[in-house]
Structure formats: C-alpha cells, structure tokens
Amino acid sequence: MKYDLVVIGAGPGGYVAAIRAGQLGLKTLVVERWKVGGVCLNVGCIPTKALLHAAHTVDSVRDAGKFGVEADVKVDLRKLNAWKERVVNRLVKGVEFLFKKNGVDLLRGEGKLLGPGKVEVKTEEGTVTVEGKNVILATGSRPRYVKGLERDGERIWDSNDAVALREVPRSLLIVGAGAVGLEFAYVYKKLGTERVVVVDIMDQVLPGTDREMAHLYARILRKEGIEIRLSTTVKEVREDGAVVLASGKGEVKEEYDRVLVAVGRVPNTEFLRGTGIEMNGRGFVRVNDRMETNLPGIFAIGDITPGPMLAHRAQKEGILAAEVAAGLNVRKNWKYVPAVVYTYPEYATVGLTEEGAREEGYDVVVGKFPLSALGRAHTMGGVEGAVKVVAEKGTGKLLGVHIVSPEASAIVSEAALALEKGLTVEEIERVIHPHPTTSEALMEAAANVLKKAVHIVN
C-alpha cells in the first residue's frame, strides 16, 4: 500500500489535512482507530455545543415570562441525546462523503509510525504496513487525570462521560474552571442539576485570560446559580459520597452525587517513543513553521504540538501541512488563535490580555463598553457583559480583544482579523457596524479608547 500522504488520525486536523491533500491531487490515506471526526466531532466540540444550545433554550423558555411568553418546560434526556447523536452522525457522514469525493482512502485501525515513510496499522483483520512519501501525525489528545480522582465512569466522570448525558445528577462537583468545566457547569445547571460547584486551584476562572474580564464572567455565572470556588483543591473523594475540599480557609467535607474532572488534556504521543521524533518535556512534538518534525517527510499538527488545544488551530495546521506535502512554498502565516467558551453569555478572547501586554513592555491603553449600554443586548433580554479592547498608547495599535456577550464567538472573528492585519482602534471605530447588533460593542469599545464612544461616558 503506497501513498503520497498518510494521515494518522481523522480528527478535525487530520480529516481537513486529508481533504486538502486530495484537492491537491495527492494519493492520500487516513488511518483512524476510532471514529471519523475524532474527539471534536464525536464527543467534544459538536455534541457539547448541541447540549449548550439545548440548555440555553431551556433557560430562555423558563425566563420568557418577562416577555409575556408562558410555557412549561420538560427535558426528555432520551430525545435530547437522540437529537445530539443525529447532529453528530450527519456531520460524520459529511466528512466521509468528502473523503470519497476527494479520493481519500480510509483505513480503520491503530497506526504506528515505524520511521520516515512507513506506518504500521493494526486492523481487525490483521497488521499491514503502509508506505507514504509523507506522513502527518494528527492523533489528538485525551482528558488529563488527577491522582486520587481517576475516572470510574460512575461517580467520577471525565468530559466523555459528561457529554453522554446519561443522567442529570442532583449535585455535581466540577474540578477545573477552564472552558470544558464551565461549559458543563452551564449545561447541567440549566438542565436541572440543583447544585453545581466548580473548584479550581487557580485564583481566577479561565486561567491565562484577561483577569478583569474573567472576574466579570465569573460573577455572571454565579448569578446563574453556579457556585465557583477558586484557590481550592480536592483533597479526597471518599467511597461514602463525601468530598474533602481544601482552601486557605481550611478543609470542608461535602457530598456530591457526581464529580467531573476537567483539568485539561494530554497529547496522544506515547506511540512516538523510540521513533526519533523530537518532543518537549511535556510530550508535545516539536515542529517548525511548516509543521515539519525533525524527521524528513513527517509532519505533526493539532493537540500533539505546542499551543492551545483547539480544533480550529488543528484545522489550519492540517491545511498547511498538506500544502507543504504537496510541494507548495507555504509556511505558517497567522499569529492569533481566538478562543471561546460557549455558555450564555459567551466568553471570547484573542490577542494579548491587559496584563500580558504590560509584561511585554507595551504602554497600554484600554477601552471598554458594557452591554448595559447596548440596544441589541436589551432586545435579547438585557444580559450582562462587556467588550474590552487593549491597545498601544500613542499608536492605537490593537493588541487584544476580550468579550463577554451573546454572539461573542462571531464578534471575535472580526477582532482576530483586525489583529492579523495590524489595525488600530481608530480603523475599527471608523467601520460602520449594523444597528442594532452585538458587534457594535466592539466598535464602541474601540471608540472608548479614543474617548469617542457616544453611548457611555468616556
């Protein structure tokens, strides 16, 4: 079996790389041991966003009385899960269809890199060796576990258990205040869990994001009924149902029906040991700006390389690696990777935080615009939130944008484009944004940097 390109892993990075390679005329094979679409499509990005949409719909209907809309809400988990699976299956079939249309072969089995140009695949029928002029490693990541909090699938969950939505427990403790933990906190609270508590060892939610905006976001989540305890660790989970939590105030013993561990992910790179592939101390594969490893013809993309573990980064890297494998003279030409937490309101961020900009030596100026002054926000029910713009004083060069708002996931793309093009806050403020929209908040925040915002006191 000889190919121009062999892709190990059919997650968002791998399947996109394979399709792009097929478009470029490469004879391409994808090796996948599980399901096409990987974690993102089957148990990650897509099903969690489906559940978040359902949870927000439930919350909206319950809150619709203030609009004069009265309705009783009942959640049928069986029907909700069936709809979620239909969404996933439709998209999986769509990817498989694109494989066929672009001449991409799919081999189901576990791939192992033997060296440049050689991949061993264990299938149900036996083991085969595949030759490829180029190989893209796209094996993704898995949930990180904590000693003493190992998943058992019953009382202690990981994200795969949480997205399965087998039940809505009466009480749920979530360990980790990152995107995954907060999204599931929102889902289960809105679907009926009476008590949802999120703990994190750090002193803010979403560590590494803008501190001021993270505090605003946490305050909004608390108002939604989600308990958040920071600088707190789980010391022990007992068989009798008790959980011991430790903080600066001492230890407390509480009872929870379920514990969800959401403390990050680790790269699936164990199979690369002994192959000669260079990795850093945390198990991530080292690559250059063409996604090439130290071995000729071997590329690595997505979660197994250093950087934020996000599907859209993996997809861009997959396209780049495929184009390099096809002989195109291209290299990484982006700097910014936006990130989003898909609760309601959403939290989106791209570029430098205020703290990060100061640490890099910038003389910083900040512009803010609260959603309380935004007409569109009031027509959507008067949600809380704000947009914060970080810029360089004097030049007005945009450095970062941080958004807590409905539709923040859409607004942040404009901010990412502005950052990539090196725009100033004046150039953003100058653009006419349609009214009434949530995107106006970005324009107004940029105007606030210039002391020109008209809907707030500058």
Give residue 131's identity as a one-letter amino acid code: E
Q: What is residue 383's predicted lDDT score, i.e. its pLDDT?
A: 80
**Tokens of residue 234, six digits:** 């789980």
Cα–Cα nearest to 298, from 121, 108, 119: 119
Peptide bond into 436 cis (omega under 30): yes
- CA angle 10-16-22, nearest 5°? 100
Q: Given the structure tokens 């994001």, which residue do they identify? A: 209
Average pLDDT over residues 235-255: 92
Number of residues assigned to the chain: 458
Phi, psi of 145 (to 5 degrees): -110, 160
- Name the active-site residue from 53, 56, 433, 435: 435
CB half-sphere exposure, 214, CA atoms < 13 A:
19
pLDDT for residue 173: 98
- The chain-wide mean pLDDT, for the chain, equals 97
Residue 97 has pLDDT above 80, yes or no: yes
Please report, as a single letter, which amino acid is at residue 38.
G
Question: Given pLDDT bands bounded at 50, 70 and 90, which one contains residue 221?
Answer: very high
**What does the DSSP 8-state code read for residue 175?**
E
Q: Tell me the domains of the chain and their CATH numbers.
A: 2-143+266-325 (3.50.50.60), 156-261 (3.50.50.60), 339-449 (3.30.390.30)
Give the C-alpha separation, 55 to 280, whole Å: 40
pLDDT in tens, 25-76: 999 999 999 999 999 999 999 999 999 999 999 999 999 998 899 988 999 9
What pLDDT band is residue 356 in, cutting at 50, 70 and 90? very high
Nearest alpha carbon to residue 49 among 87, 15, 11, 91 = 87
| pLDDT for res 156 | 95
Question: Do residues 412 and 338 make contact, with C-beta atoms less than 8 angstroms apart?
Answer: yes
Max CA distance (Å), the chain: 71
Query: Catalytic residue at 435?
Result: yes
pLDDT > 70 in the chain, percent = 100
**How do residues 280-322 score in pLDDT, each as one tens digit?**
999 999 999 999 999 999 999 999 999 999 999 999 999 999 9
The model's pLDDT over 162-173, given as tens digits with 9 standing for 90+, comes to 999 999 999 999
CB distance 302 to 140 below 8 Å: yes
